[in-house]
Amino acid sequence: MTATTDGSTGAALPPRAAAASETALTVPVAAGVQEAAARATQRATDFLLARQDAEGWWKGDLETNVTMDAEDLLLRQFLGIRDEATTRATALFVRGEQREDGTWATFYGGPPDLSATVEAYVALRLAGDEPDAPHMARASAWIRDQGGIAAARVFTRIWLALFGWWKWEDLPELPPELLFFPRWFPLSIYNFGCWARQTIVPLTVVSAKRPVRPAPFPLDELHTDPANPNPPRPLAPVNSWDGLFQRLDKVVRGYRRVAVRRLRRAALNSAARWIVERQENDGCWGGIQPPAVYSVIALHLLGYDLGHPVMRAGLRSLDRYAVWREDGARMIEACQSPVWDTCLATIALADAGVPADHPQLVKAADWMLGEQVVRPGDWSVRRPQLPPGGWAFEFHNDNYPDIDDTAEVVLALRRVAHHDPERMDRAIARGVRWNLGMQSKNGAWGAFDVDNTSPFPDRLPFCDFGEVIDPPSADVTAHVVEMLAVEGLSHDPRTRRGITWLLAEQEPEGSWFGRWGVNYVYGTGSVVPALTAAGLSPRHPAIRRAVAWLERVQNDDGGWGEDLRSYRDPVRWSGRGASTASQTAWALMALLAAGERDSQAVERGVAWLAATQREDGSWDEPYFTGTGFPWDFSINYHLYRQVFPLTALGRYLHGEPFSKKPAPHAVSVEAEGS
């Protein structure tokens, strides 16, 4: 193993990946690969079918990092509801994620992260771990060496300010009057991505109220100089965007002192209404944990007691993010992905040869049909005349259906022979119409909103927690183009605009950037199947460049992998990393779509998947191959390691989906605003 200058695992294969690679080399590449693929496909199919819920859905664990767990404990401490059993189980998980140097990372094998380490340390202090314990002393020493609490991100310092461990005066200001900005204004809340919008609105209340609960202990050991814990941060040059927004923050701080009380009160009331109106039926907000946490805090500060129905439902929803492990540890999911997992599992099983009328596929289709969102949400601010019809990612998230899920659900439904085809066609037509109506003006698609591309939200000093806007991306656009092609709309002008955008976005070496998966392997694995489904010849220059790139970055063991560092350093890390099951599958899906089934690269990749499969039909994948915010927030979807290899193996054995029969045609659809 090699080490990089940041102290993290380098480009050499980690021990677990190396062991898997040695196993892979025992499978003959040219001889017997088809038989090995057939055996692996059958085992993977059995494994996946056995894990379907009785209601028809699949859901794998969604693993992120320990800030979710630490903030859950801090919330409970703030509300006065922290209990010993929850604290003990959370601490068990957090301790288990600590590395030998005392730090925590935000993804497996990644570099130490200051904010994650600060929050994990505080969580363990809440659990009773003493500062002089060896594991705690290592953590605090590293934190001080990195600049202490003062160098942590804004969100970490907000959590500490709730208990007086940081001064509110030394945090960027975020006034609730932000809600009154008109929709055309560059800093309107609707110029933020939906995940940021749901977080920022409740945080305007927190910023206005500046609450402080008694701290249960001091944190002097996390400051480089306890006598001066809040050193001033240097200002960026006045002629830079960062410098401008830093100085704008000073103006906003001054406004706090002169804010008209009636206006401030009206803004807080508007924030409360906005939050309550967006609470989902199960009590959560947007189906994701961070907005739920901040919404509960904001409403509590506005006078909602813990017995209020809104608060009771919100707190119950937070408990549903907890995953209890066999060792008694408790892990918090940032969100849950049943719709996404179910459509991907359906595609995988169908492409692997499970009959289209198999009862479990029909049950999955029934469940997905019941999850279609049929009422307007925040997306309708920019598309007020567009009828609803999308699908969301989570169990309950009617406010924020997303374009990616909608495209993949349609692709999944088209693989099922349902007993009510008219119902299927109606649902699919609504989904196709909604996706077409959500096309951005450049011809591409973002994940949740239309033309969510303002450069200003990212510049706010408050927004240092990751991506806060939702511009179109190659992977989402590719999934929509593939879906439109399957629906017989390859030659529709809107589809052709999407194809033109994708071709223009190809990187010089032949890959595509992956916004929602890691990274260039994911982007390329999404785009190539879409382009060929839409009619581009496998001999098209863009397809040949992609094939050449995938062949160049294939690992010696036959698999593919890519480290998250490619988001920061694409020159060194694009397409490079330890082989993983999901990323190998993405590469194979692209190569198979490009007509490379009999190539040595495909045979070696299929052999690697077959050899690294466990006896129970699953694959091991500790690496994070999903993306929340590029680099800043990474995801290990525990079902990715299962559904994508099965899809790739199925396509290797049975050919590309829909290639043997005419594509079905959805009913006529028209898009508003495209």
The dihedral formed by the CA atoms of 291, 293, 298 and 302, expressed in degrees to the nearest 10: 130
The answer to whether the beta carbons of residues 345 and 364 sit under 8 Å apart is: yes
Matching residue, tokens 């649902």: 427
> Count of CB atoms within 10 A of residue 119's CB?
28
Matching residue, tokens 């010696």: 556
Cβ-Cβ contacts under 8 Å for 168 (sequence gap 6 or more)? 161, 207, 210, 212
Cβ-Cβ contacts under 8 Å for 366 (sequence gap 6 or more)? 56, 418
Matching residue, tokens 């096309």: 439
Instruction: Kindly state the DSSP code that residue 341 receives in the 8-state scheme.
Output: H
The answer to whether the beta carbons of residues 390 and 435 sit under 8 Å apart is: yes
The values of phi and psi at residue 521, to 5°, are -65, -40
Q: CA-to-CA distance for 145 and 154, rounded, in angstroms?
A: 19
The dihedral built from the CA positions of residue 39, 43, 44 and 46, taken in this order, carries a sign that is: positive
- What letters, b where the CB count within 10 A reaches 16 and e where it falls short, cover 598-635? eeebbbbbbbbbbbbbeeebbbebebbbbbbbbbbbbb
Please state whether beta strands 62-63 and 322-324 pair in parallel, antiparallel, or not at all (unpaired). Answer: unpaired
Q: Which of 69, 341, 351, 404 is catalytic?
A: 404
The answer to whether the beta carbons of residues 390 and 628 sit under 8 Å apart is: no
The answer to whether the beta carbons of residues 286 and 278 sit under 8 Å apart is: yes
Helix or strand run (H / E) with residue 642:
helix 640-654
The answer to whether the beta carbons of residues 581 and 621 sit under 8 Å apart is: yes
Instruction: Kindly state the DSSP code that residue 97 receives in the 8-state scheme.
Output: H
Distance of CA 369 to the CA centre of its chain: 23
Q: CA-to-CA distance for 655 and 651, rounded, in angstroms?
A: 5
Helix or strand run (H / E) with residue 324:
strand 322-324
> Count of CB atoms within 10 A of residue 539's CB?
9
> Count of CB atoms within 10 A of residue 334's CB?
18
Please state whether beta strands 62-63 and 330-332 pair in parallel, antiparallel, or not at all (unpaired). Answer: unpaired
Q: CA-to-CA distance for 471 and 475, rounded, in angstroms?
A: 12
Q: CA-to-CA distance for 212 and 216, rounded, in angstroms?
A: 12
**CA diameter of the chain:** 78
Q: CA-to-CA distance for 608 and 619, rounded, in angstroms?
A: 11
Q: CA-to-CA distance for 287 and 284, rounded, in angstroms?
A: 6
Q: CA-to-CA distance for 161 and 163, rounded, in angstroms?
A: 5
The dihedral formed by the CA atoms of 271, 272, 274 and 278, expressed in degrees to the nearest 10: 140
Q: 3-class DSSP state for residue 332? A: strand
* 402 part of the active site: no
Helix or strand run (H / E) with residue 301:
helix 289-301
The answer to whether the beta carbons of residues 9 and 109 sit under 8 Å apart is: yes
Name the token pair of 656: 């590309």
The secondary structure of 435-471 as a DSSP string is: HHHT--TTS---SSSSSB--SSGGGSTT--SS---B-
Active-site residues: which are they? Answer: 404
